[in-house]
Amino acid sequence: MTDQRTPGALAEAGAQAKAQALRLVRTRFPHALGAVLGGSAAQSRATPTSDLDVAVLLPDSGSGRREVVRHEGRLAELFLNTVAGVPEFFAWDSARRRGTVLFLYAEGLPLTDPYGHVARTSDQAQAILAAGPPPLTPEEWEHGRHVLTCYLDDLVDTPPADRYEQLSLADHTLREAAHLLTAHHSAWTGIGKWLPRRLLTADPTRGRALLDGHRAVAERADPALLAAVVEQVLDLMGGPVREGYSHSWPV
């Protein structure tokens, strides 16, 4: 749904979110070495009930963690890291190919940065994001193609009357296709509301076609468009994988 608020109202909401996030940091983390407001609030896309995504840099005597709190009646999701722990955490965040906290620092709004740690951390995050996520291994490519092929076959074979199964399959098909298509473009992926945003950034044409196909299943119980686009995605990567697929059990 398109946000109907005026540019002035969006700017005001963004300023309020930033001020609220800064009060949160000063109240709960008076010894913080820096903090950033990210997510939808930083992009003026937050709704009145959206939570605040706040990344906080702590002294090395602190402990890194993810924490959800309520501040001034509003939920806030906190991403806490020590300065010394940032490189290792960024490596882990990059390996997931979503870069959740990387994007917070690269695209977020600085709240406080008395010693320049936020600026340096932001530079690190931007460099990692510019380099792109790690490529999939040959085994991961084959496994992904096989999984997407299975979802595609099941989606096409499922009668529209079995709506619960059809909808579940459409969701899994979209997620796996997005995972492979973003990897094909060496682009970052996402989950939740960030999946369509990252997907459209990576491949506006095929990404929108996948999303339109998913919508057709949801609204009309018609999997034809989604199936056709998934076949195109698979063709980009060498085609579907069915018979002959094999992999060892993890130990």
Architecture in CATH for domain 7-131? 2-Layer Sandwich (3.30)
DSSP state of 158: S
Cα–Cα distance for residue pair 1/183, rounded to 1 Å: 28
DSSP state of 122: H
- What pLDDT score does 15 carry? 81
Cα–Cα distance for residue pair 157/47, rounded to 1 Å: 39
- What pLDDT score does 9 carry? 59
H/E element holding 24?
Answer: helix 7-28
- Taken in order 13, 14, 19, 23, the sign of the CA dihedral is positive
Polymer length of the chain: 251
Among 42, 40, 82, residue whose Cα is nearest residue 61: 82
Which residues in the chain come in under a pLDDT of 50?
A: 1-2
- Taken in order 96, 121, 184, 182, the sign of the CA dihedral is positive
Cα–Cα distance for residue pair 177/172, rounded to 1 Å: 8
- CA 79 from centre of chain: 15
**SS3 assignment, position 82:** strand
- Taken in order 222, 224, 229, 230, the sign of the CA dihedral is positive
- Taken in order 32, 33, 39, 43, the sign of the CA dihedral is positive
φ, ψ of residue 30 in degrees (nearest 5): -60, -20
As beta bridge partners, residue 34 has: 57
- What pLDDT score does 107 carry? 95
Where are the domains positioned within the chain?
7-131, 138-236
